[in-house]
Amino acid sequence: MSVSDSLILASASPRRRDLLHQIGLTFSVAPVDIDESHRPGEPASDYVERLAREKAEAGYRQHPGHRVLGSDTTVVLDGEPLGKPVDRNDALDMLRRLSGREHEVLTGVALAGPEGTGSRQVSTRVCFRELSEDEMVAYWETGEPVDKAGGYGIQGRGGVFVSAIEGSYSNVVGLPLTETADLLAWSGVPVWQVWQTTTGEWNE
């Protein structure tokens, strides 16, 4: 695989970077700036997949000839998407609403490249135990909830709130690995080929 076909992650998320490194990939990071507004009446599943495709395609326009990975994750409670908290009060309100209840985490993932754009969307059910006010406040003060959809990170301190999950764990972190690998295989570059090299790059 030539340098012009290398992988680009259209996201600044450190969690997504860590997950791609976890499966042995070498890639560049080039976040894109798009309008992430939720359209009136748009189902959350459509929303995350649309944003993932728009991010991937915006990245591909900036870096033609590469394969560009876009992703978007949201927490859904009672049909309402919960994005990143805007401030302390918003974060605490989200955690109070999630306390003792089950919610859904949706991620859209898309890959744009010379073959076109492919996308997937994945759902995971997450159950929270009952949370006390003191621990919610203490959690906010760690700084962890600031940039997390739903105001928590399962891979960090927020993992102590989760009593059970049903579905993909990596999806809750922010990038479903099975579907990401499936998209790479669809584009002609299966992940297992990377494991046969010492550089973490694809060979022809």
pLDDT at res. 198 = 56
CB 50 within 8 A of CB 108: yes
**List of the chain residues with pLDDT < 50:** 1-5, 204
Q: Which CATH class is domain 3-194?
A: alpha beta
pLDDT in tens, 146-168: 989 999 999 999 999 999 999 99
* Local structure of 96: helix, strand or coil: helix
Long-range contacts of 188-191, Cβ-Cβ distance < 8 Å, separation of 24 or more? 188/115, 189/1, 189/5, 189/7, 189/67, 191/23, 191/24, 191/25
pLDDT at res. 201 = 59
pLDDT at res. 199 = 56
| Amino acid (1-letter code) at residue 139 | Y
For the chain, which residues make up each domain, given as ranges?
3-194
Q: Is 78 a catalytic residue?
A: no
Active-site option among 46, 72, 87, 93: 72
* Local structure of 27: helix, strand or coil: coil
* Local structure of 89: helix, strand or coil: helix
